[in-house]
Amino acid sequence: MVRHWMIAIVMLLVAATAAQAAAVRAVVDRNRVTVGESIALQITIDGGDGEIDLSGITAFKVLSRGSTNSFQMINGRTSRKMIYNYVLIPQREGDLIIPAIPVTIDGRIHRTAPFRIAVSAQPPTESGRRNVYVTAAVSEAAPWLGQQIIYTFRLFNAVQVADAKFQPPAFSGFNAEELEDRTSHRTLINGREFIVTEVTFILVPLTPGELTIEPAVLHVGVMQRSRRSRPFSGMDAFFGRGERVTHMLQTDPLTVNVRPLPPAPPGVSFSGLVGQFDVDATLDKTDTRVGDSTTLAVTVRGTGNIMDVAVPDIPIPEQFKSYADNPEETIQKGAQGYSGSRTFRTALVPVQPGEYRIGPIGLTYFDVGSGQYRKVASVSFDVAVAPSAAAMTDLEVLRGASPQPPSLKKRVEFTGRDILPLKENLAAIEPQASLPPLWFAIFLALPALGFVLAGAIMQMMKKDDSPERIMADRAKEALKMASSGHSSDTDFLSALYRALVSAILGKQGAMGTSLTWSEAQHQLLRLGWDAKEAAAAAQLLESVESFNYSGQTLDHARRAELLDQTRKTVRRLSR
């Protein structure tokens, strides 16, 4: 009987809730904006949940900002409310319409009221009259094919910003790599102080002709003085009084005219290097003997595509045997692009005595400064090869013969005593006792056991150079830097960002230097994390990147909190 009463009560509650499900409304925070600014749209469903169709909004770019829900029971009456938040970014100026939005609830379609939004042109572009803006530039607008150039994105903000999400261009036609460290500094423009945050990429054009670098996009929250009360609770809680408006800032597209390399002069062997390079060589011994080795070290250093350096053509006399070693390289990435050196070592072993010349070792590269092919060469080496020590000994023996005829008599000398007694009877040819089979097997197995043991030791000592280990080490080093307590806010946040990205990519067995918060969340879900934990880790990455862009000063408590959360996330990923 009690069970029937409970079922009846539940059915009454459901019916009461369904009766209220028809209340659907939408509000916007403002109806006048300029191009580049955004509008907050909130859709509220009283009494239930529903499916919202935003496909009719074509004049705006729509971004979801999540949802909240509540359930209350007052005096026996229940109420449920779902709130969906969106950000709308106008695609053009003019009077734009947000049409009536259909919401399907329990098979029935409800519609919100339409809105008219007045979108004016971009305000004056003088930097002194703008609070936040972005720019992009390249170090060379007409590079040669294969010449590295620097692309720099800059965010200028004179007011407090947050939730910065950077979307770089696709860099079609270029090989692009972002520098890990993002720099930040302050500057005065028309009497106003701006915080300037720079993101730098190294670009190498892959094809000649006119290439376009698409606009870079930055979504950023900008604090503005509140002009009226807003219908959105909690929007101003983070920064106190005032309102935060999300802006979509984008740079102008850039055109790069890539010049093809001119034909190489006849008889010139082009190395494929483009930039500024030099070559030198050292030889550890110029006086040697037949059979002894001397090491020739050839080093190519410079700025440009140093990673593409191949073994130079070394003119080695045919009277030498050569044995090449693995090259050693040191390559850095910086504000000037790639630079460094690569060293090739070769062991030379003479097989005939004589006087020989090794070198010079030449290299032809394309000089981007002069726009011409340039040949550089090392010094040459004169090598004196003497006969081997054994040959010299043989010559001395031949020259030291006595002029007197040699005597045929031989002097009897005592050369040693036989430690075994002479055996003169038939027992001397009897077979001796053989080694037992067990001991024979043990002695036979000892070398094999030695090889197995040596192999096991070498395997244990072998360095793990897998992507998982490399990225785990990077995460460990980044956490160590962040924990030092002596780094600036920018270095601290960059270290946390590297630690999180390295740990997530390393768990996937991949290499890389950057991830967006949405990509990080997707990767963590693939690793088996539940949705709540993946969202929390992605939010941590987003917070770190937002603070890095905003230029805010971190207090001790906030630094400790971010470091602790990052350390816990990296520790879990390293399991």
- For residue range 125-167, list pLDDT tens digits in order: 444 447 889 999 999 999 999 999 999 999 998 888 877 888 9
CA distance 523 to 517: 10
55-64, 197-206, 333-342, 530-539, range with greatest mean pLDDT: 197-206
Beta strand spans in 214-336 (E)? 217-224, 243-250, 254-258, 274-283, 287-289, 294-304, 320-324, 328-334
Are 148 and 252 members of one domain?
Answer: yes
For the chain, percent of residues with pLDDT exceeding 70: 77
CA dist 190 to 126, 130, 131, 158, 388, Å?
Answer: 9, 11, 12, 12, 79
Are 70 and 143 members of one domain?
Answer: no
* Element of type H or E holding 3: helix 2-19
Structural domain contains residue 459:
no
* 462-512 confidence digits (pLDDT tens): 555 677 888 888 888 888 888 887 777 778 888 888 888 888 888 887 776
> What is the edge-to-edge ordering of all strands in the sheet holding 23-28?
23-28, 39-46, 77-90, 60-74
| Domain extent at residue 105 | 2-120
Tokens of 528: 């088996």
For residue 198, is it left (φ>0), alpha (ψ between -120 and 50) or beta?
A: beta
Structural domain contains residue 47:
yes
Structural domain contains residue 45:
yes
For the chain, percent of residues with pLDDT exceeding 90: 24
Choose between 528 and 48: higher pLDDT: 528
Q: With cut-offs at 50, 70 and 90, classify the pLDDT of residue 460.
A: low
For residue 304, is it left (φ>0), alpha (ψ between -120 and 50) or beta?
A: left
Q: Assess whether pLDDT exceeds 80 at residue 550.
A: no
Lowest mean pLDDT among 15-29, 381-395, 454-468, 539-553: 15-29
Choose between 246 and 287: higher pLDDT: 287
Lowest mean pLDDT among 183-197, 272-286, 408-422: 408-422
Burial class (CB in 10 A: 0-12, 13-18, 19+), 20: middle
Q: How many domains does the chain fold into?
A: 4
End-to-end CA distance of the chain: 54
- CB contact at 8 A, 381 and 407: no
What's the rounded mean pLDDT across residues 273-300?
91
Question: Which residues are CB-contacts of 385 (< 8 A; sequence separation ≥ 6)?
Answer: 288, 289, 290, 319, 350, 352, 353, 354, 355, 356
Choose one of 90, 120, 150: the last residue of a domain.
120
Choose between 432 and 78: higher pLDDT: 78
Structural domain contains residue 444:
no
The candidate with the shortest Cα–Cα distance to 460, out of 448, 471, 452, is: 452
Question: Which residues are CB-contacts of 567 (< 8 A; sequence separation ≥ 6)?
Answer: 479
- CB contact at 8 A, 331 and 340: yes
Measure CA 21 to chain center.
Answer: 50
Between CA 546 and CA 549, with CA 547 as vertex, the angle to 5 degrees is: 65
Structural domain contains residue 441:
no
Structural domain contains residue 394:
no
Cis peptide before 169 (omega within 30 of 0): no
Choose between 402 and 494: higher pLDDT: 494
For residue 146, is it left (φ>0), alpha (ψ between -120 and 50) or beta?
A: left
Choose one of 69, 98, 120: the last residue of a domain.
120
Structural domain contains residue 399:
no
What's the rounded mean pLDDT across residues 216-243?
58
Structural domain contains residue 438:
no
- CB contact at 8 A, 328 and 343: yes
Predicted local distance difference test score (pLDDT) of residue 425: 47
Are 72 and 144 members of one domain?
Answer: no
Q: With cut-offs at 50, 70 and 90, classify the pLDDT of residue 22.
A: low
Are 85 and 157 members of one domain?
Answer: no
Domain of residue 210, CATH code:
2.60.40
Choose one of 89, 120, 151: the last residue of a domain.
120
Are 285 and 213 members of one domain?
Answer: no
Are 206 and 153 members of one domain?
Answer: yes
Q: With cut-offs at 50, 70 and 90, classify the pLDDT of residue 297.
A: very high
CA distance 463 to 423: 61
